[in-house]
Amino acid sequence: MNKSRWHLKPLAAAFAFAGLIGMSLSQQAVASIDTGDDSLELSGFIENATYFRDSVGLTKFRNTLQLEGTKILGSLGAFDEFSINGTFRATYDGVYDLNSNEFGDDAGGSILLESLVDFGAGNLVPNGGGIPLGTITPAGLVNDGLIVLGEHLHDADGGVTFAVPVRPCDKDSRGCLGGYMDDDLDDLRYSDFNDRWDFIRELYINATIDMDSGTTFNLQIGKKQEVWGRTDLFRVLDILNPVDYSRQNIYDELEDIRIPLWMATAEWQFGANDILDDMNVQFVWIFDKFRPNKLGQSGTPYQILDAGSLFRGLSNCWDNGCTVSNFAGGNVTTNFGPGVLGIRDVHLPDWSLDNGQFGVKFEGVYSDIGFSLNAFYTRSQLPSLRGAGGPGGFATDNPFTGGGLAGLPPEDAFGPEPQIFPYIIAFDIHFPRVVLVGGSLDYYADPLKTAFRAEVAWTKGEEFANTLKPRLFSESEVVRWVIGADHNFFIRGINKNKAFLASFQTFGQHILDHDRENGPLGEVGIPDRENNYISTLLLKGWWFQDRVSPQIIQAYDWGANAYVISPSVDWLISDSWRLQVAANLKFGDGARKFSDCRACNPFSPFTATPLHDNAVQLPSPPFPDPTFAADAGDIGLGGFEPLGRFQSGPIGMAQKEDEIQVTLRYRF
Amino acid sequence: MKKFTKGLLGAALLSFAASASAVTDADIDNSFKPYTKGFPTVEGVVAGLVINKSNVDTYASVLDDGMIKHIKDGWVELTVGEPMDFVLNQGYIDATKAGAKNHKLGAKVGELEGYTAGRPFPIEPSLDDPRAGEKMAWNFQYGYNWGDGAAISPFYWKYKNMNTGKIERTIKFNFYFLNFAHRVNDAPLPEFEKNPGKLFRAIYLNVAEPFDVKNTQLLIHRSQNDLKRDNAWLYLGFQRRVRRLATGQVTDSFLGSDLMIEDFEGYNGRISDMNWTYKGTRTMLLPMYDSSKQERTSEFNESDGYTYTTYHGKGGCFPNVTYSLRKVYVVESDPVDPNHPIGKRVHFMDAQTFTLPRTVTYDRQGKYWKSWMIGQAHPDSHHPVNKGTGVSVDDAFGMMDVQSLHCTTGQFKGLVDPSLVKKKQFSVQYMRSFGK
């Protein structure tokens, strides 16, 4: 699709339209547009969100126009009620123009990479300046528009790092992953205008049949969000739509970051029966082409787990080769040619009926308990990096022997080139099939004056990084749960009329087939913890007829020792104007370390050590003394990158992203 | 021995008070038609009289202390209108005649035995009856308020600064009421066949405007068992989730207004949440009127030409309606829960309809806190759909926080039309599907 068609004219028209609306409205509170048609409801808002980050400057200057509409067509054909609902959003984020040195065409620069061993170039070597274990392409040698992976959060500290291109993909195509992380400048600035038509937040028909039996049948078809579950913030059951973490990591309202999908929902609302006060059954068929979560791209302000940078750096490594700090021998910065390390490809499922997603929900109220039972046949919305090194993998080059991928002779004494090497740090990205079964409930406990909410889900098919496996991943069943409690309490001294809300939640994740052990140099296996918990606490008050509402939301990742606190004040200036001022501050350990598999010995004997299993010293000559042959496998040499991010979690990985945030909205 | 005698006497009184009374048809006729021999009269209080600060002392006997203060402070002037007979729906009266002899209070406050439908205690209350207030409260609770089901659609609330009259917020609601049991007029009678939760009544509302609270929905299920806590759910549009509402929130400022959920309709809670005391019968002016003779406004441009009540007085907080002389039962309610935000309410119950056109609220320190008026329009003078329904139509409210000098006004388009109220609207799932 010709993207330029979307990017300028529609936005100019949209904001001009917004301006016209703004001018045409009186200052008297106007709650929606008077269409003169009782069956047509239109409303919307214009918003500016401006965020500043410590040491970085502007991170967001997002301007939004959103329009919502419903056309009620009444009784139509077999349907008693029929309506068309739409929500349209246009955003322009000026950060890529106003702070282009950090995010945009001028981002990044030349980099230096740490080398613990000075091999003649000092302890900081430029991109391309490592000891040669391959030939980096000319594009890969361009030392501009780069950052060092993780540099905003940590030093290399003896670990591996490499170059990450950070400019938009139309400016610098290095490391861009086609169809997954390949946004050009306009894609970033106008994120709603893409080839999936995300400016349509929702557009669906809603049709209802009231049956003689008292059952109501509801059918919705179109592009929409469908929300399951009862808890806030955590997505245990609320997973029908993927989410866009590139808007503000994990901190935006889910309403704004769910990625709408084309789907059909059919629901039978049976109402009360002899046992249940309410009962309904819903079927969901998502026929849209699969969409994963949007994790954020390198060179953009918000990336969950800094994944966009990691992936782009790895992709660049595969495509162009790269310089990796402290790699050879665990301490020498090393140049690798293309086709050895990195991310080779992304396998996004094609559209087909077989690739559809299906869900079913049974929901009801029994006595005083609201409950649901849910099942969803879907795909992992998070990427799985399946390593090359095993059955089902793919061939890579051996940089010690030359290889076909690097344009060198295809064979030598160590076998054909390329070939499959176990534990090689080379990946394809997949989105595996996942089955979820779960449920939720809520209950009000009068003696405690507290409402409780809970969700639980079991999944099968999810995949995790695992350095104990030749392909560096393994599948595991996972149980996730959230329990939440809402309690209202008065502090009469400061607010006579309005209770404060305290909302506490704890999220837990248990990886059933967790795999971790101690290697000679450190822990190896799955970096995610077998059991991990995150707790949140929201304290919220309201004054002046709910027009001023301060709140403090806090979250603590128990395993990562990562804490975030976000105080904010929401001021409803009038029915039309709203100002929100917030801060987002993180504390804790920040970056954490885990095995990085640089010592996984994929190329024995060149990478073998006496610490690897079945190590045998090879005769000298012909081999240099000492040279070992040994089994491939991880011995636990590690650092911050790349797997430490799973130890740090999303809060810890954003440790250095403290922000002040101001949002002004005008509703019409 | 003295203690024992007292105990016996108390038990005997309690037993007497709780027992089914010998209600006659004459009692019932008197309860529903107290004005067959003429409306109450008070010297000088005639239609057209304007009560203001210059003459309020003359007419203090027909006003409550709070209203007297408002008038003396120059906040409002009251105009007296013609009295009207608000005879409730015949089905409700018939149900009362069929069942009243069987009604009696249980041992605990909140227990009512033998009740099917109609007015539970169609008798004159007695100051000698220690549970008379509770009986009056039951008459309100199981009153014909909004009939078996009705809608207020739309329902405009305005938040106002009393000092300046500035309208801070305007919220457009839609309210729906449905009786699941004790129904008297619209089939099925007297109760829905499938009612496993043994609900008595449900209230559902949604917010249409403004945008920040659009799609907010509230659902309240009240059980037939008054000792059972209401279930309440809130749907927040921006979250697209139904949240179980904690009870604390029903005594909380609702969406920033000067009302708590418990204030709806004058009192929206369990009988057992309060101690009820009957304080006597008075002849008083209440905002009950012929709506066709009031000053109305077409500010909301209803396509059917319906007009809304106007407001006047300080801050534009007082419904601009006429007041008429009514027989009134004065009942006080004070919360059982020591943490409840209010100290007590004084309800001025209209004896004919058992609506609550006037309630005065005191805080926990005993200071005057809220002034609460719900204008009652005669159904035959109101929207065409309400004619002949025998429902005293809530038409306008003004809730004033006299301490913070802030008020919330409510302009109703109340429609007693069963076709507007569907049982499915009162389910949790409906909130999800309505909210998208």
Q: Which of residues 80-119 of A touch B (CB under 8 A)?
A: 85
Q: How confident is the model at residue B436 (pLDDT cuts 50, 70, 90)?
A: low
| Residue A590, burial from CB neighbour count under 10 angstroms (0-12, 13-18, 19+) | buried
SS3 category, A604: coil
pLDDT of residue A410: 45
Q: What percent of chain A has pLDDT over 70?
A: 92
pLDDT of residue A354: 87
Phi first, then psi: give them for residue B196, nearest 5 degrees. Answer: -65, -30
Q: Which of residues 374-433 of B touch A (CB under 8 A)?
A: 401, 404, 406, 422-424, 427-430, 432-433
Least confident of A330-334, B8-12, B92-96: B8-12
pLDDT of residue A621: 81
* Cβ–Cβ gap A269/B212 under 8 Å: no
Q: What H or E segment, with its residue span, contains residue A98? A: helix A95-98
Q: Are A356 and A285 in contact (CB under 8 A)?
A: yes
pLDDT of residue A490: 87
**Chains A & B: contacts with CB separation below 8 Å:** 172
What residue type is assigned to position B232 of the chain? A
pLDDT of residue A29: 37
Q: Between B258 and B1, whose confidence is greater?
A: B258
pLDDT of residue A35: 63
* Cβ–Cβ gap B197/A229 under 8 Å: no
Q: Does B340 touch chain A (CB under 8 A)?
A: no
* Cβ–Cβ gap B197/A272 under 8 Å: yes
pLDDT digits (tens, 9 = 90+) for A184-241: 999 999 999 999 999 999 999 999 999 988 899 999 999 999 999 998 889 999 999 9
The domain spans of chain A are: 4-99+197-225+260-286
pLDDT digits (tens, 9 = 90+) for B371-418: 999 999 999 999 999 999 999 999 999 999 999 999 999 999 999 998
pLDDT digits (tens, 9 = 90+) for A262-282: 999 999 999 889 899 899 999
pLDDT digits (tens, 9 = 90+) for A344-383: 999 999 999 889 999 999 999 998 899 999 999 999 999 9
SS3 category, A480: strand
How far off is chain B from A551, nearest CA to CA, in Å?
16
* Cβ–Cβ gap A210/B424 under 8 Å: yes
Q: Does A32 touch chain B (CB under 8 A)?
A: yes
* Cβ–Cβ gap A273/B194 under 8 Å: yes
All residues at 6 or more sequence positions from A326 whose CB lies less than 8 Å from its CB, including other chains? A114, A115, A116, A156, A158, A159, A160, A332, A333, A598, A639
Compare all CA atoms of chain B with the CA of A452 and give the residue at the minimum distance: B244
Q: What is the CA radius of gyration of chain B?
A: 21
Cα of first residue to Cα of last residue in chain A, in angstroms, is 33
All residues at 6 or more sequence positions from B137 whose CB lies less than 8 Å from its CB, including other chains? B267, B271, B274, B276, B331, B333
Compare all CA atoms of chain A with the CA of B210 and give the residue at the minimum distance: A31
Structure tokens at A421: 């090497």
Distance (Å, rounded) from C-alpha B381 to C-alpha B290? 6
Q: Taking 70 as the threshold, does the pLDDT of residue B71 lie above it?
A: yes
Distance set, CA A514 to CA A336, A390, A474, A510 (Å): 32, 20, 9, 8
Instruction: Mark out the alpha helices in A500-659 (DSSP H runs).
Output: 644-653
* Cβ–Cβ gap A272/B170 under 8 Å: no
Longest dimension (CA), chain B: 73
Least confident of A562-576, A621-635, A646-660: A621-635
| Residue A274, burial from CB neighbour count under 10 angstroms (0-12, 13-18, 19+) | exposed
The edge-to-edge listing of strands for the beta sheet with A131-133 is: A131-133, A332-336, A322-328
Structure tokens at A165: 């291109």
* Cβ–Cβ gap B240/A225 under 8 Å: yes
- Nearest CA to A161 among A127, A135, A117? A127
* Cβ–Cβ gap A271/B424 under 8 Å: yes
As a whole number, mean pLDDT of residues A246-274 equals: 94
Least confident of A8-17, A32-41, A612-621: A8-17
Residues in chain A: 668
Q: Which of residues 166-205 of B touch A (CB under 8 A)?
A: 167-170, 172, 192, 194-197, 199
pLDDT digits (tens, 9 = 90+) for A98-154: 999 999 999 999 999 999 999 888 899 999 999 999 999 999 999 999 999 999 999
Tell me what the pLDDT averaged over chain A comes to: 91
* Cβ–Cβ gap B239/A32 under 8 Å: no
How far off is chain B from A22, nearest CA to CA, in Å?
15
Q: Are A277 and A365 in contact (CB under 8 A)?
A: yes
Phi first, then psi: give them for residue A491, nearest 5 degrees. Answer: -120, 90
Comparing CB atoms, the residue among A276, A487, A498 nearest residue B246 is: A487
Residues of A in contact with B428 (CB under 8 A): 278, 365, 370
Q: Are B217 and B431 in contact (CB under 8 A)?
A: yes
- Nearest CA to A370 among B427, B210, B238, B48? B427
As a whole number, mean pLDDT of residues A401-422 equals: 61
Distance (Å, rounded) from C-alpha B209 to C-alpha A30? 9
Residues of B in contact with A284 (CB under 8 A): none
* Cβ–Cβ gap A29/B210 under 8 Å: yes
How far off is chain B from A418, nearest CA to CA, in Å?
52
pLDDT of residue A39: 87
Phi first, then psi: give them for residue A644, nearest 5 degrees. Answer: -60, -25
Q: How confident is the model at residue A626 (pLDDT cuts 50, 70, 90)?
A: confident
pLDDT of residue B339: 84
Please give the torsion angle defined by the CA atoms of residues A338, A340, A342 and A347, in that order, rounded to the nearest 10 degrees. 90
As a whole number, mean pLDDT of residues B162-177 equals: 95
How far off is chain B from A261, nearest CA to CA, in Å?
14
Compare all CA atoms of chain B with the CA of A362 and give the residue at the minimum distance: B429
Residues of B in contact with A278 (CB under 8 A): 427-429
Taken in order of first residue, the domains within chain B and their CATH numbers are: 1-436 (2.50.20.10)
Q: What H or E segment, with its residue span, contains residue A308? A: helix A307-320
SS3 category, A534: strand
Query: β-pairing, B318-319 with A433-445?
Result: unpaired
Distance (Å, rounded) from C-alpha B269 to C-alpha B252? 13
pLDDT digits (tens, 9 = 90+) for B16-37: 444 455 899 999 999 999 999 9
Q: Does A531 touch chain B (CB under 8 A)?
A: no
As a whole number, mean pLDDT of residues A14-39 equals: 49
Q: Does A443 touch chain B (CB under 8 A)?
A: yes
Q: Taking 70 as the threshold, does the pLDDT of residue B6 lie above it?
A: no
Q: Does B159 touch chain A (CB under 8 A)?
A: yes
Q: How confident is the model at residue B319 (pLDDT cuts 50, 70, 90)?
A: very high
SS3 category, A46: strand
As a whole number, mean pLDDT of residues B185-209 equals: 92
Distance (Å, rounded) from C-alpha A299 to C-alpha A306? 10
Secondary structure (H, E, C), B277-333: EEEEEEEEEECEECHHHCCEECCCCCCCCCCEECEECHHHCEECCEEEEEEEEEEEE
Q: Are A369 and A443 in contact (CB under 8 A)?
A: yes
Compare all CA atoms of chain B with the CA of A224 and give the residue at the minimum distance: B436
What residue type is assigned to position B396 of the chain? A
As a whole number, mean pLDDT of residues B136-140 equals: 98
Distance (Å, rounded) from C-alpha B179 to C-alpha B118? 12
Q: How confident is the model at residue B8 (pLDDT cuts 50, 70, 90)?
A: very low
Distance (Å, rounded) from C-alpha A62 to C-alpha A186? 13
Q: How confident is the model at residue B251 (pLDDT cuts 50, 70, 90)?
A: confident
Q: Does B97 touch chain A (CB under 8 A)?
A: no
Q: How confident is the model at residue A402 (pLDDT cuts 50, 70, 90)?
A: low
Compare all CA atoms of chain B with the CA of A256 and give the residue at the minimum distance: B238
Q: Does A573 touch chain B (CB under 8 A)?
A: no
Q: Are A115 and A96 in contact (CB under 8 A)?
A: no
Q: Does A361 touch chain B (CB under 8 A)?
A: no
Q: Taking 70 as the threshold, does the pLDDT of residue B15 lie above it?
A: no
Q: Does A367 touch chain B (CB under 8 A)?
A: yes
